[in-house]
Structure 1
Amino acid sequence: MRGFESQLLRPGDWLITGLAASAVIALAMLAWRSDGATHVRIYQSGKLFAELDLAAHRTLDVPGPLGLTTVEVAQGRARIAADPSPRQYCVRAGWLSQSGQVAICLPNRTSIELTGSKPRAYDSLSY
């Protein structure tokens, strides 16, 4: 009688385990792949203020209750460069480059959102 340990995993078991691990890795890479952004939407008080193409270099001042918020677009990315809000969270967000990323300046009621060529299947509100 052969040893009990040698009967636990046969060559076919190793093959199935390897194929399953490869499938899990491929599906994870597919699920977490992000779409490159092509446009930035600028909102003021919940209404669309402007939509800009990320391919062009541009700076736009958006008026709000506290003053002007400066949105900068360059090299396929966008950021809020300056804002009169006291804590500067939206400015600290830095450059956004992936579709679905958002920077929000709540005291000045201004936000930017990057959009891509295809709509996002989910966002933070979907959870």
Structure 2
Amino acid sequence: MAWALLRPGDVLMLALAVGLALASFVWLWRDGVAEEVVIRANGQVFARLSLRHDRRIEVPGPLGVTEVQIAAGRARILRDPSPRQYCVRQGWLSRPGQTALCLPNRTSIDIPRRNTPYDSLNF
């Protein structure tokens, strides 16, 4: 009954709105699913690991050992000797483009994107 009130222009606008919503969904989610994590120590790549296998990795740094945990397709910094624990509070990383930095201990974890908008990441 409500369809009887719609004019051809209304149907066209509704179709354009649905098309725009679908196109923006595809464009905004183009990075896909996280597949790997890159662990850096002192600015160098320490390890490049798949997120498919659960494990814990110890990464040495100037202040001590940072422990990275990978579980259920996501990664986090579990323990770090840094005084303020900002990287531990960052929590689980599960989407491409997310990063956690432990600047005092010079370690980081990153879930890379397929197409990065920058050349490198340094601290």
The structure having more radius of gyration, on CA atoms, is: 1
Give secondary structure in 2 for the equivalent of 1:79.
Answer: strand
Q: Are 1:84 and 2:71 an aligned pair?
A: no
- In structure 2, C-alpha distance between the alignment counterparts of 1:80 and 1:60, rounded to whole Å: 10
TM-score (norm 2): 0.82
Superposed structure 1 runs of 4+ greater than 2 Å apart: 120-123
Percentage of identical aligned residues: 43
Q: Are 1:48 and 2:42 an aligned pair?
A: no
The match for 1:23 is 19
Within 5 Å, give how 1:25-40 maps onto structure 2.
25-33=21-29, 34-40=31-37
Deviations for 1:100-125, whole angstroms, at most 9, x for unmatched residues? Answer: 21111111110001136xx13547x9
Cα pair 1:100 1:120 within 8 Å, conserved: no
The residue type equivalent to 2:108 in the other structure is S
Of 8, 13, 23, the residue aligned with 2:9 is 13
TM-score (norm 1): 0.80
Deviation at 1:44, TM superposition (A): 0.9
- In structure 2, C-alpha distance between the alignment counterparts of 1:73 and 1:47, rounded to whole Å: 20
Cα pair 1:79 1:95 within 8 Å, conserved: yes
Matched pairs, number: 113
Of 90, 100, 104, the residue aligned with 2:101 is 104
Structure 1, unaligned runs of 5 or more: 1-9
Deviations for 1:38-67, whole angstroms, at most 9, x for unmatched residues? Answer: 111100121101111111111111111111
Deviation at 1:36, TM superposition (A): 1.1
The residue type equivalent to 2:18 in the other structure is S
